[in-house]
Structure 1
Amino acid sequence: MDVADQIKTIKEELNRLDVTLVAVSKTKSLEDIMAAYDAEQRIFGENVVQELVGKYEALPKDIKWHLIGHLQSNKVKYIAPFVALIHSVDSIKLLKEINKQAHKHNRTIDCLLQVHIAAEDTKFGLDHVELIELLRSPELAQLNNVRIRGLMGIATNTPNEKEIKEEFRELKSLYDGIKSSFFGEKPSFDILSMGMSSDYKIAIEQGCTMVRLGSTIFGGR
Protein backbone atom coordinates (compact mmCIF):
# COMPACT_ATOMS: atom_id res chain seq x y z
CA MET A 1 0.00 0.00 0.00
CA ASP A 2 1.45 3.39 -0.95
CA VAL A 3 1.57 6.52 1.23
CA ALA A 4 -1.67 7.98 -0.14
CA ASP A 5 -3.61 4.75 0.46
CA GLN A 6 -2.18 4.40 3.97
CA ILE A 7 -3.15 7.98 4.84
CA LYS A 8 -6.67 7.48 3.54
CA THR A 9 -7.19 4.21 5.44
CA ILE A 10 -5.78 5.50 8.74
CA LYS A 11 -7.57 8.85 8.55
CA GLU A 12 -10.92 7.15 7.98
CA GLU A 13 -10.35 5.09 11.13
CA LEU A 14 -9.13 8.06 13.21
CA ASN A 15 -11.82 10.50 12.01
CA ARG A 16 -14.45 8.01 13.13
CA LEU A 17 -12.85 8.00 16.59
CA ASP A 18 -12.31 11.79 16.65
CA VAL A 19 -8.52 11.37 16.93
CA THR A 20 -6.15 13.75 15.12
CA LEU A 21 -3.31 12.31 13.00
CA VAL A 22 0.16 13.81 13.09
CA ALA A 23 2.15 12.30 10.22
CA VAL A 24 5.70 11.96 11.53
CA SER A 25 7.82 12.98 8.56
CA LYS A 26 11.30 13.02 10.17
CA THR A 27 13.94 11.68 7.76
CA LYS A 28 11.30 11.46 5.01
CA SER A 29 11.80 13.06 1.61
CA LEU A 30 9.85 16.03 0.29
CA GLU A 31 8.31 13.63 -2.25
CA ASP A 32 7.01 11.34 0.50
CA ILE A 33 5.54 14.29 2.37
CA MET A 34 3.89 15.62 -0.79
CA ALA A 35 2.34 12.19 -1.40
CA ALA A 36 0.72 12.44 2.03
CA TYR A 37 -0.19 16.09 1.39
CA ASP A 38 -1.88 15.14 -1.89
CA ALA A 39 -3.92 12.63 0.13
CA GLU A 40 -5.16 15.63 2.16
CA GLN A 41 -2.90 15.21 5.21
CA ARG A 42 -2.01 18.66 6.57
CA ILE A 43 -0.42 18.03 9.98
CA PHE A 44 3.19 16.85 10.00
CA GLY A 45 5.59 16.28 12.90
CA GLU A 46 9.35 16.70 12.98
CA ASN A 47 11.78 16.14 15.84
CA VAL A 48 14.84 18.08 14.60
CA VAL A 49 14.56 21.87 14.34
CA GLN A 50 16.93 22.23 11.37
CA GLU A 51 15.06 19.61 9.35
CA LEU A 52 11.72 21.18 10.28
CA VAL A 53 12.80 24.64 9.10
CA GLY A 54 14.09 23.26 5.79
CA LYS A 55 10.83 21.43 5.09
CA TYR A 56 8.73 24.43 6.10
CA GLU A 57 10.62 26.56 3.57
CA ALA A 58 10.29 23.98 0.77
CA LEU A 59 6.69 22.81 1.17
CA PRO A 60 3.17 24.30 0.93
CA LYS A 61 2.39 26.94 3.52
CA ASP A 62 -0.95 25.50 4.61
CA ILE A 63 0.88 22.60 6.33
CA LYS A 64 0.63 22.73 10.12
CA TRP A 65 4.04 21.81 11.48
CA HIS A 66 4.38 20.20 14.90
CA LEU A 67 7.67 19.95 16.79
CA ILE A 68 7.49 16.56 18.51
CA GLY A 69 11.11 16.07 19.62
CA HIS A 70 13.08 17.49 22.53
CA LEU A 71 13.47 21.25 22.09
CA GLN A 72 16.42 23.29 23.34
CA SER A 73 15.73 26.90 24.32
CA ASN A 74 18.31 28.27 21.89
CA LYS A 75 16.50 26.65 18.94
CA VAL A 76 13.04 28.13 19.62
CA LYS A 77 13.72 31.28 17.57
CA TYR A 78 14.03 29.27 14.36
CA ILE A 79 10.52 27.77 14.55
CA ALA A 80 8.65 30.55 16.37
CA PRO A 81 7.47 32.29 13.17
CA PHE A 82 5.47 29.29 11.95
CA VAL A 83 5.23 26.26 14.28
CA ALA A 84 1.62 25.23 14.96
CA LEU A 85 2.14 23.08 18.07
CA ILE A 86 5.12 22.17 20.27
CA HIS A 87 4.54 18.76 21.88
CA SER A 88 7.63 18.58 24.06
CA VAL A 89 7.62 21.41 26.63
CA ASP A 90 9.25 20.17 29.82
CA SER A 91 10.18 23.30 31.82
CA ILE A 92 9.03 26.80 32.68
CA LYS A 93 12.34 28.03 31.27
CA LEU A 94 11.46 26.64 27.85
CA LEU A 95 7.94 28.06 28.04
CA LYS A 96 9.35 31.52 28.81
CA GLU A 97 11.62 31.35 25.77
CA ILE A 98 8.74 30.20 23.53
CA ASN A 99 6.67 33.10 24.89
CA LYS A 100 9.49 35.58 24.23
CA GLN A 101 9.98 34.42 20.63
CA ALA A 102 6.23 34.21 19.97
CA HIS A 103 5.86 37.81 21.19
CA LYS A 104 8.48 38.97 18.66
CA HIS A 105 6.32 37.56 15.88
CA ASN A 106 3.01 38.73 17.38
CA ARG A 107 1.88 35.11 17.74
CA THR A 108 0.45 32.83 20.38
CA ILE A 109 2.14 29.43 20.18
CA ASP A 110 0.21 26.34 21.27
CA CYS A 111 2.15 23.95 23.52
CA LEU A 112 1.76 20.56 25.15
CA LEU A 113 3.45 19.71 28.45
CA GLN A 114 5.46 16.52 28.10
CA VAL A 115 5.00 14.11 31.00
CA HIS A 116 7.54 11.39 31.73
CA ILE A 117 5.50 8.17 31.84
CA ALA A 118 8.03 5.58 30.60
CA ALA A 119 10.22 3.26 32.64
CA GLU A 120 13.27 4.39 30.62
CA ASP A 121 15.41 7.29 31.87
CA THR A 122 16.22 8.28 28.30
CA LYS A 123 12.79 9.82 27.75
CA PHE A 124 12.28 13.51 28.56
CA GLY A 125 9.37 15.03 30.43
CA LEU A 126 8.01 16.36 33.71
CA ASP A 127 7.14 14.10 36.60
CA HIS A 128 3.77 14.63 38.32
CA VAL A 129 5.14 16.97 41.01
CA GLU A 130 7.04 19.10 38.49
CA LEU A 131 3.94 19.31 36.29
CA ILE A 132 1.75 20.61 39.13
CA GLU A 133 4.48 23.06 40.20
CA LEU A 134 4.70 24.42 36.65
CA LEU A 135 0.93 24.84 36.37
CA ARG A 136 0.82 26.63 39.74
CA SER A 137 3.79 28.86 38.90
CA PRO A 138 3.00 32.61 39.03
CA GLU A 139 5.38 32.94 36.06
CA LEU A 140 3.06 30.87 33.87
CA ALA A 141 0.23 33.35 34.34
CA GLN A 142 2.46 36.10 32.90
CA LEU A 143 3.07 34.28 29.62
CA ASN A 144 0.56 35.79 27.23
CA ASN A 145 2.02 34.40 23.99
CA VAL A 146 1.82 30.70 24.80
CA ARG A 147 -1.25 28.57 25.25
CA ILE A 148 -1.19 25.22 27.07
CA ARG A 149 -3.33 22.90 24.95
CA GLY A 150 -2.80 19.61 26.77
CA LEU A 151 -0.31 16.86 27.61
CA MET A 152 2.00 14.57 25.68
CA GLY A 153 3.66 11.33 26.73
CA ILE A 154 5.78 8.55 25.25
CA ALA A 155 5.30 5.03 26.59
CA THR A 156 8.09 2.59 27.37
CA ASN A 157 9.53 0.88 24.29
CA THR A 158 8.48 -2.64 25.23
CA PRO A 159 6.49 -5.56 23.78
CA ASN A 160 4.62 -5.68 27.11
CA GLU A 161 1.21 -4.27 26.14
CA LYS A 162 -0.01 -4.34 29.75
CA GLU A 163 2.78 -1.96 30.78
CA ILE A 164 2.06 0.39 27.87
CA LYS A 165 -1.66 0.33 28.68
CA GLU A 166 -1.00 1.24 32.32
CA GLU A 167 1.28 4.13 31.34
CA PHE A 168 -1.29 5.55 28.92
CA ARG A 169 -4.11 5.05 31.43
CA GLU A 170 -2.10 6.94 34.05
CA LEU A 171 -1.50 9.84 31.63
CA LYS A 172 -5.19 10.00 30.69
CA SER A 173 -6.13 10.12 34.38
CA LEU A 174 -3.59 12.91 34.95
CA TYR A 175 -4.91 14.81 31.90
CA ASP A 176 -8.50 14.58 33.19
CA GLY A 177 -7.46 15.74 36.66
CA ILE A 178 -5.47 18.69 35.37
CA LYS A 179 -8.20 19.71 32.95
CA SER A 180 -10.77 19.93 35.75
CA SER A 181 -8.41 21.44 38.37
CA PHE A 182 -6.55 24.03 36.30
CA PHE A 183 -8.51 24.69 33.13
CA GLY A 184 -12.13 24.23 34.18
CA GLU A 185 -14.42 24.99 31.29
CA LYS A 186 -11.67 26.32 29.00
CA PRO A 187 -12.22 24.46 25.72
CA SER A 188 -8.63 25.12 24.63
CA PHE A 189 -7.16 22.42 26.93
CA ASP A 190 -8.21 19.57 24.66
CA ILE A 191 -5.19 17.61 23.39
CA LEU A 192 -3.82 14.36 24.80
CA SER A 193 -1.00 13.37 22.45
CA MET A 194 0.03 9.77 23.03
CA GLY A 195 0.57 6.80 20.79
CA MET A 196 3.02 6.10 17.97
CA SER A 197 3.11 3.48 15.23
CA SER A 198 3.91 0.64 17.63
CA ASP A 199 1.28 1.45 20.27
CA TYR A 200 -1.29 3.91 18.89
CA LYS A 201 -4.18 1.44 19.07
CA ILE A 202 -3.60 1.05 22.82
CA ALA A 203 -3.39 4.86 23.14
CA ILE A 204 -6.75 5.21 21.38
CA GLU A 205 -8.31 2.65 23.74
CA GLN A 206 -7.03 4.70 26.67
CA GLY A 207 -8.51 7.98 25.41
CA CYS A 208 -5.90 9.92 23.44
CA THR A 209 -7.04 12.70 21.10
CA MET A 210 -3.90 12.80 18.93
CA VAL A 211 -1.47 10.16 17.62
CA ARG A 212 1.95 10.54 16.01
CA LEU A 213 2.47 7.99 13.22
CA GLY A 214 5.55 7.62 11.05
CA SER A 215 6.35 4.09 9.86
CA THR A 216 2.64 3.16 9.76
CA ILE A 217 2.23 5.77 7.01
CA PHE A 218 5.61 6.01 5.30
CA GLY A 219 7.02 2.52 5.93
CA GLY A 220 10.26 1.74 7.75
CA ARG A 221 13.40 3.80 7.33
Structure 2
Amino acid sequence: MTNIADNIKTLKEYASSRNVELVVVSKKKSSSEIMKAYDSGQRIFGENIAQELVQKKDLLPADIQWHFIGHLQRNKVKYIASFISMIQSVDSLRLMEEIQKQAENHQRVIPCLLEIRIADEITKNGMSYKSAEAILAGGEIKNMKNLKICGLMGIGTFTNDEQKTRQEFRGLAEFFRAIKNSYFAEEKIFSILSMGMSDDYKIAIEEGSTMVRIGSCVFGER
Protein backbone atom coordinates (compact mmCIF):
# COMPACT_ATOMS: atom_id res chain seq x y z
CA MET A 1 0.00 0.00 0.00
CA THR A 2 1.32 3.42 -0.99
CA ASN A 3 2.19 5.68 1.94
CA ILE A 4 1.48 9.12 0.54
CA ALA A 5 2.66 10.95 3.66
CA ASP A 6 6.06 9.22 3.64
CA ASN A 7 6.47 9.84 -0.09
CA ILE A 8 5.68 13.54 0.32
CA LYS A 9 8.14 13.86 3.19
CA THR A 10 10.95 12.20 1.22
CA LEU A 11 10.32 14.23 -1.93
CA LYS A 12 9.96 17.56 -0.12
CA GLU A 13 13.23 16.99 1.74
CA TYR A 14 15.02 16.08 -1.51
CA ALA A 15 13.58 19.05 -3.42
CA SER A 16 13.85 21.73 -0.74
CA SER A 17 17.47 20.87 0.02
CA ARG A 18 18.18 21.73 -3.63
CA ASN A 19 15.97 24.85 -3.75
CA VAL A 20 13.47 23.09 -5.99
CA GLU A 21 9.68 23.51 -5.74
CA LEU A 22 7.55 20.36 -5.66
CA VAL A 23 4.30 20.26 -7.65
CA VAL A 24 2.29 17.13 -6.87
CA VAL A 25 0.43 15.91 -9.96
CA SER A 26 -3.06 15.06 -8.73
CA LYS A 27 -4.88 14.43 -12.01
CA LYS A 28 -7.39 11.57 -11.76
CA LYS A 29 -6.78 11.37 -8.01
CA SER A 30 -9.61 11.48 -5.49
CA SER A 31 -10.12 14.27 -2.99
CA SER A 32 -9.22 11.89 -0.17
CA GLU A 33 -5.89 11.02 -1.81
CA ILE A 34 -5.13 14.69 -2.39
CA MET A 35 -6.00 15.46 1.24
CA LYS A 36 -3.42 12.91 2.41
CA ALA A 37 -0.78 14.89 0.54
CA TYR A 38 -2.25 18.16 1.81
CA ASP A 39 -2.17 16.95 5.41
CA SER A 40 1.51 16.12 4.88
CA GLY A 41 2.22 19.77 4.12
CA GLN A 42 1.89 19.85 0.33
CA ARG A 43 0.11 22.91 -1.07
CA ILE A 44 0.91 22.98 -4.81
CA PHE A 45 -0.97 20.53 -7.02
CA GLY A 46 -1.01 20.07 -10.79
CA GLU A 47 -4.03 19.20 -12.93
CA ASN A 48 -4.47 18.76 -16.67
CA ILE A 49 -8.25 18.80 -17.26
CA ALA A 50 -10.09 22.06 -16.64
CA GLN A 51 -13.45 20.56 -15.66
CA GLU A 52 -11.87 18.12 -13.20
CA LEU A 53 -9.82 20.94 -11.71
CA VAL A 54 -12.88 23.14 -11.16
CA GLN A 55 -14.67 20.32 -9.35
CA LYS A 56 -11.69 19.62 -7.09
CA LYS A 57 -11.12 23.29 -6.36
CA ASP A 58 -14.64 23.57 -4.96
CA LEU A 59 -14.21 20.50 -2.73
CA LEU A 60 -10.71 21.05 -1.36
CA PRO A 61 -9.06 23.65 0.92
CA ALA A 62 -8.91 27.21 -0.37
CA ASP A 63 -5.18 27.62 0.27
CA ILE A 64 -4.21 25.01 -2.32
CA GLN A 65 -2.24 26.51 -5.21
CA TRP A 66 -3.49 24.91 -8.42
CA HIS A 67 -1.16 24.68 -11.42
CA PHE A 68 -2.51 23.76 -14.85
CA ILE A 69 0.03 21.44 -16.46
CA GLY A 70 -1.75 19.86 -19.45
CA HIS A 71 -2.69 21.05 -22.91
CA LEU A 72 -5.10 23.94 -22.42
CA GLN A 73 -7.69 24.73 -25.08
CA ARG A 74 -8.50 28.40 -25.42
CA ASN A 75 -12.20 27.84 -24.73
CA LYS A 76 -11.36 26.29 -21.34
CA VAL A 77 -9.35 29.23 -19.99
CA LYS A 78 -12.47 31.00 -18.73
CA TYR A 79 -13.25 28.13 -16.35
CA ILE A 80 -9.97 28.40 -14.43
CA ALA A 81 -8.98 32.06 -14.85
CA SER A 82 -10.54 33.24 -11.59
CA PHE A 83 -8.42 31.04 -9.34
CA ILE A 84 -5.53 29.31 -11.12
CA SER A 85 -2.15 29.96 -9.48
CA MET A 86 -0.08 29.17 -12.57
CA ILE A 87 -0.55 27.89 -16.12
CA GLN A 88 2.56 25.89 -16.97
CA SER A 89 1.52 24.83 -20.47
CA VAL A 90 1.31 28.03 -22.52
CA ASP A 91 2.12 26.92 -26.06
CA SER A 92 0.90 29.64 -28.44
CA LEU A 93 0.40 33.37 -28.78
CA ARG A 94 -3.34 32.86 -29.28
CA LEU A 95 -3.56 31.05 -25.94
CA MET A 96 -1.68 33.92 -24.29
CA GLU A 97 -4.16 36.39 -25.75
CA GLU A 98 -7.06 34.41 -24.29
CA ILE A 99 -5.38 34.14 -20.89
CA GLN A 100 -4.81 37.91 -20.94
CA LYS A 101 -8.47 38.50 -21.81
CA GLN A 102 -9.85 36.23 -19.09
CA ALA A 103 -7.37 37.42 -16.45
CA GLU A 104 -8.33 41.02 -17.18
CA ASN A 105 -12.00 40.08 -16.80
CA HIS A 106 -11.20 38.82 -13.30
CA GLN A 107 -8.88 41.75 -12.51
CA ARG A 108 -5.94 39.55 -11.71
CA VAL A 109 -2.52 38.63 -13.09
CA ILE A 110 -1.95 34.99 -14.02
CA PRO A 111 1.62 33.64 -13.78
CA CYS A 112 2.50 31.47 -16.79
CA LEU A 113 5.29 29.29 -18.13
CA LEU A 114 6.04 28.84 -21.82
CA GLU A 115 5.92 25.15 -22.68
CA ILE A 116 8.78 24.14 -24.96
CA ARG A 117 8.67 20.86 -26.87
CA ILE A 118 11.99 19.19 -26.07
CA ALA A 119 10.97 15.56 -26.67
CA ASP A 120 11.01 13.63 -29.92
CA GLU A 121 7.48 12.26 -29.59
CA ILE A 122 4.97 14.01 -31.83
CA THR A 123 2.35 13.47 -29.12
CA LYS A 124 4.09 15.98 -26.86
CA ASN A 125 2.78 19.55 -26.83
CA GLY A 126 4.73 22.77 -26.67
CA MET A 127 6.42 25.34 -28.87
CA SER A 128 9.67 24.86 -30.68
CA TYR A 129 12.63 26.91 -29.48
CA LYS A 130 12.34 28.94 -32.68
CA SER A 131 8.62 29.68 -32.21
CA ALA A 132 9.09 30.70 -28.59
CA GLU A 133 11.88 33.10 -29.45
CA ALA A 134 9.84 34.56 -32.31
CA ILE A 135 6.93 35.28 -29.95
CA LEU A 136 9.25 36.94 -27.44
CA ALA A 137 10.99 38.96 -30.14
CA GLY A 138 7.61 40.09 -31.50
CA GLY A 139 6.97 42.04 -28.33
CA GLU A 140 3.21 41.41 -28.05
CA ILE A 141 3.64 39.93 -24.57
CA LYS A 142 4.79 43.29 -23.22
CA ASN A 143 1.27 44.62 -23.76
CA MET A 144 -0.33 41.75 -21.82
CA LYS A 145 -0.52 43.30 -18.37
CA ASN A 146 -2.60 40.49 -16.84
CA LEU A 147 -0.28 37.69 -17.87
CA LYS A 148 3.19 37.28 -16.42
CA ILE A 149 5.78 34.96 -18.00
CA CYS A 150 7.69 33.42 -15.09
CA GLY A 151 9.79 30.83 -16.91
CA LEU A 152 9.73 27.69 -19.03
CA MET A 153 8.32 24.18 -18.83
CA GLY A 154 9.36 21.07 -20.74
CA ILE A 155 8.63 17.34 -20.79
CA GLY A 156 11.43 14.95 -21.69
CA THR A 157 11.15 11.98 -24.02
CA PHE A 158 9.75 8.83 -22.40
CA THR A 159 12.89 6.71 -22.62
CA ASN A 160 15.37 4.65 -20.64
CA ASP A 161 18.21 6.53 -22.34
CA GLU A 162 19.47 8.70 -19.49
CA GLN A 163 21.90 10.55 -21.75
CA LYS A 164 19.10 11.58 -24.12
CA THR A 165 16.99 12.80 -21.21
CA ARG A 166 19.93 14.75 -19.84
CA GLN A 167 20.63 16.36 -23.22
CA GLU A 168 17.00 17.48 -23.55
CA PHE A 169 16.95 19.04 -20.09
CA ARG A 170 20.35 20.63 -20.62
CA GLY A 171 19.16 22.17 -23.87
CA LEU A 172 16.10 23.66 -22.18
CA ALA A 173 18.23 25.05 -19.35
CA GLU A 174 20.55 26.69 -21.87
CA PHE A 175 17.57 28.21 -23.70
CA PHE A 176 16.18 29.44 -20.38
CA ARG A 177 19.41 31.28 -19.61
CA ALA A 178 19.64 32.71 -23.12
CA ILE A 179 16.14 34.18 -23.24
CA LYS A 180 16.40 35.40 -19.66
CA ASN A 181 19.44 37.44 -20.69
CA SER A 182 17.78 38.63 -23.91
CA TYR A 183 14.21 39.36 -22.81
CA PHE A 184 13.87 39.15 -19.03
CA ALA A 185 17.17 40.46 -17.68
CA GLU A 186 15.43 43.04 -15.48
CA GLU A 187 12.60 40.75 -14.33
CA LYS A 188 13.32 38.70 -11.23
CA ILE A 189 10.00 36.90 -11.64
CA PHE A 190 11.40 35.03 -14.68
CA SER A 191 13.03 32.37 -12.53
CA ILE A 192 11.16 29.07 -12.97
CA LEU A 193 12.45 26.14 -14.99
CA SER A 194 9.83 23.41 -14.63
CA MET A 195 11.23 20.11 -15.83
CA GLY A 196 11.35 16.64 -14.37
CA MET A 197 8.66 14.10 -13.47
CA SER A 198 8.62 10.89 -11.45
CA ASP A 199 10.95 8.97 -13.78
CA ASP A 200 13.51 11.69 -14.42
CA TYR A 201 13.28 14.43 -11.78
CA LYS A 202 16.72 13.74 -10.33
CA ILE A 203 18.35 14.21 -13.74
CA ALA A 204 16.27 17.36 -14.28
CA ILE A 205 17.42 18.83 -10.97
CA GLU A 206 21.04 18.06 -11.83
CA GLU A 207 20.54 19.99 -15.08
CA GLY A 208 19.06 23.07 -13.43
CA SER A 209 15.36 22.46 -12.80
CA THR A 210 13.78 24.71 -10.18
CA MET A 211 10.39 22.97 -10.19
CA VAL A 212 9.44 19.30 -10.58
CA ARG A 213 6.04 17.75 -11.28
CA ILE A 214 5.64 14.44 -9.45
CA GLY A 215 2.65 12.09 -9.49
CA SER A 216 3.36 8.36 -9.32
CA CYS A 217 6.22 8.77 -6.84
CA VAL A 218 3.62 10.26 -4.48
CA PHE A 219 0.44 8.30 -5.17
CA GLY A 220 1.89 5.10 -6.64
CA GLU A 221 1.57 3.82 -10.19
CA ARG A 222 -1.78 4.36 -11.88
TM exceeds 0.5? yes
Equivalent in the alignment of 1:46: 47
| 1:154-200: CA deviation from partner (whole Å, max 9, x where unpaired) | 00001111100000000000001111111013110010000000110
In structure 2, the residue corresponding to 1:178 is in which secondary structure? helix
Equivalent in the alignment of 1:131: 132
In structure 2, the residue corresponding to 1:117 is in which secondary structure? coil
2:25 equivalent to 1:27: no
The amino acid that maps onto 2:8 is I
The amino acid that maps onto 2:203 is I
CA distance in 1 between counterparts of 2:202 and 2:170 reads 13
Runs (4+) of structure 1 exceeding 4 A deviation are none
2:78 equivalent to 1:77: yes
CA distance in 1 between counterparts of 2:42 and 2:129 reads 34
CA distance in 2 between counterparts of 1:185 and 1:206 reads 24
The amino acid that maps onto 1:35 is K
Equivalent in the alignment of 2:13: 12
Equivalent in the alignment of 1:96: 97
| 1:88-128: CA deviation from partner (whole Å, max 9, x where unpaired) | 00111000000000001100000000001001111111111
The amino acid that maps onto 2:163 is K
**TM-score between the two structures when normalised by the length of structure 2:** 0.98
Equivalent in the alignment of 1:55: 56
2:193 equivalent to 1:192: yes
In structure 1, the residue corresponding to 2:208 is in which secondary structure? coil
The amino acid that maps onto 2:51 is Q
CA distance in 1 between counterparts of 2:143 and 2:10 reads 43
Percentage of identical aligned residues: 54
CA distance in 1 between counterparts of 2:179 and 2:124 reads 22
**For residues 141-220 of structure 1, what are the structure 2 equivalents within 5 Å?**
141-220=142-221
Q: Residue 139 of structure 1: CA displacement?
A: 2.0
CA distance in 2 between counterparts of 1:14 and 1:121 reads 30
The amino acid that maps onto 1:40 is G
The amino acid that maps onto 1:180 is N
Q: Residue 130 of structure 1: CA displacement?
A: 0.5
CA distance in 2 between counterparts of 1:138 and 1:207 reads 27
The amino acid that maps onto 1:6 is N
Q: Residue 220 of structure 1: CA displacement?
A: 1.0
CA distance in 2 between counterparts of 1:141 and 1:22 reads 28
Root-mean-square deviation (CA, aligned residues, Å) is: 0.7
CA distance in 2 between counterparts of 1:140 and 1:19 reads 27
**Gap regions ≥5 residues in structure 1:** none
**Gap regions ≥5 residues in structure 2:** none
Question: Please, which moves more after superposition, 129-138 or 211-220?
Answer: 129-138
